[in-house]
Structure 1
C-alpha cells in the first residue's frame, strides 16, 4: 500500500474531539443524525461543529463533512441539508427507496456515500448497483445501520477494487492490519475510538488516525 489511507471519524459531538481529529489529519468527519444512535447530534449541536470548521479551520486543513441519516423522515433530512454546510450525505444502502436509488434529494453521486452492510463475499460486480463514487463497507446488524463495534471477515471484500472505506469493529490496535489486508481506500470508525457509547476518547482518536496513516508505509 503506497497511498495514504483516508480516515473518517464518525459520530463527533464535541468541538474538542473535532480539534483532535483535525490535528491528526482526519480526512472526513461524520455527524450522526440517526435518532436511535448514542451519537445523535441535534441541529444546534451540528451547527456549532460546522461553524467551527468554517470559521476556525483553514480550508486546506478542513476535513470533509459527512451527514449520516438512517430511517430518517424526508422532511427532517431536507431541513438539515437546507440549513447546514456539508460535503457528503451518507446513507445505508438498504434504507434507500429501492436498490441503487435514494430519495430524489440526493441524486448527485459525487456528494453521496452509500454504506453497504456485508453479509458474505462481495465484488465490484455484486456492488455495481450502488450508485455512489465512494462506498462504506460495514458489518451487518439487523437492528442498527452501523456503529455497532462489530467486525466482519475482511476476506469478504478482497475482490472489491472500487474506492471504499472499511468499517465495522475497527480500533487503533487493528486498523493497520485491516488496511494492509484489504488495501481499502480508507477507514471509518465510531465506537472504536470511544470510552463509552457516544463519548469519544481523544487519545484513541489520535492513535487510530496515526496507526491508519502509518500503514501506508508498512507495505501490504
Structure 2
C-alpha cells in the first residue's frame, strides 16, 4: 500500500503563511518558542495562529500543531503548554534543559517529538533510547537546536525504520530526492522555505509541499 510523506512546515509566524500550509495540505506546523531563533513567536502571536486554525479550518483539514523548545526553562514552558492548544511538543534529545521523563511537561510518548542531531551512521538500535513515537533526524550544529539550513549525508539514516521526519537543508529542489533515498515517514523544513531567516516565502512553501506530496512509496 503506497503512502505519501508527512510534511511539517516549521517556524510559522504569520496567518497568511499558515493559510498556504493549509491549502497545500501540510500535516504539521511548527510554532517556535526558542528564544535564540529568528522564528521565535510571542504567546500572543502563537495564539493568533492557533485561533485561526480552530475557528477557520475544519478539523479534517487542520494540520497538527507542534510547539518547539530548546534550552528553555520549565518556568517558560509550563504556561505555554497550559494556556495554548497544541498537539505535540518537540524537544531536542541532547538538550540538558529539557524536562525529564518524570515531568508532565515532557508529555506522553505519543505527544512528544524528539529531535536527534545526526553526527554519524545511526539505526533503530542506536536510537532506541529516544522515547517518542515520532523522531526528527536533523543535522548537527553546536548550540543550535535546528533550523540551520545545513544538511547531512542521508545515507547515515538509511537503516532507520521507525517513523521519523527528515530535516536539515531540505528545499523544494531536493525534497523528492531526499525522500527517494531515505524513505522517511516525512520531512521537516524551516529555512528551506524562507526568503530570509524567519521570513517565509509562500511560493517556496507551495513548491516544497507539492514536491514532497508527489512522492509516494510502498509502505511495506
Task: Please tell me the TM-score bracket, short chain as reference.
Answer: over 0.9
Q: Following the alignment from structure 1 to structure 2, what is the Cα–Cα distance between the partners of residues 145 and 103?
A: 21
Q: Following the alignment from structure 2 to structure 1, what is the Cα–Cα distance between the partners of residues 134 and 102?
A: 15
Task: Decide whether the 8 Å contact of 1:99 with 1:129 is kept in 2.
Answer: no
How big is each residue's C-alpha offset from its partner over 1:142-182, in whole Å with a ceiling of 9 and x where there is no partner?
02100000000000000000000000000000000000000
Q: Following the alignment from structure 1 to structure 2, what is the Cα–Cα distance between the partners of residues 113 and 151?
A: 20
Higher mean Cα deviation, 1-10 or 101-110?
Answer: 101-110
- Determine the structure 1 residue equivalent to 2:159: 159
- Determine the structure 2 residue equivalent to 1:182: 182
Match status 1:47 vs 2:53: no
Task: Decide whether the 8 Å contact of 1:29 with 1:65 is kept in 2.
Answer: yes
Matched residue of 2:142: which SS? coil
Deviation at 1:105, TM superposition (A): 1.9
Higher mean Cα deviation, 92-101 or 132-141?
Answer: 92-101
Deviation at 1:44, TM superposition (A): 0.3
Task: Decide whether the 8 Å contact of 2:191 with 2:198 is kept in 1.
Answer: yes
Q: 1:34 to 1:212 in 2, by over 3 A?
A: same
Task: Decide whether the 8 Å contact of 2:72 with 2:97 is kept in 1.
Answer: no
Q: How does 1:97-136 map to 2 (within 5 A)?
A: 101=101, 103-136=103-136
Q: 1:3 to 1:96 in 2, by over 3 A?
A: farther
- Determine the structure 2 residue equivalent to 1:169: 169
- Determine the structure 1 residue equivalent to 2:200: 200
Deviation at 1:217, TM superposition (A): 6.6
Q: Following the alignment from structure 2 to structure 1, what is the Cα–Cα distance between the partners of residues 150 and 99?
A: 24
Task: Decide whether the 8 Å contact of 1:100 with 1:131 is kept in 2.
Answer: no
Task: Decide whether the 8 Å contact of 2:71 with 2:98 is kept in 1.
Answer: no
Q: How does 1:23-62 map to 2 (within 5 A)?
A: 23-62=23-62
How many residues align? The count is 219
TM-score normalised by structure 1 residue count: 0.95
Matched residue of 2:50: which SS? helix
Please provide the CA RMSD for this pair.
1.9
Q: Following the alignment from structure 2 to structure 1, what is the Cα–Cα distance between the partners of residues 73 and 158?
A: 35
Q: 1:150 to 1:100 in 2, by over 3 A?
A: farther
Matched residue of 1:65: which SS? strand
> What are the ranges of 5 or more consecutive residues in structure 1 without an aligned counterpart?
none
Q: Following the alignment from structure 1 to structure 2, what is the Cα–Cα distance between the partners of residues 102 and 67?
A: 19
Deviation at 1:107, TM superposition (A): 3.8
How big is each residue's C-alpha offset from its partner over 1:30-68, in whole Å with a ceiling of 9 and x where there is no partner?
000000000000000000000000000000000000000
Q: 1:51 to 1:160 in 2, by over 3 A?
A: same
TM-score normalised by structure 2 residue count: 0.95
Deviation at 1:73, TM superposition (A): 1.0
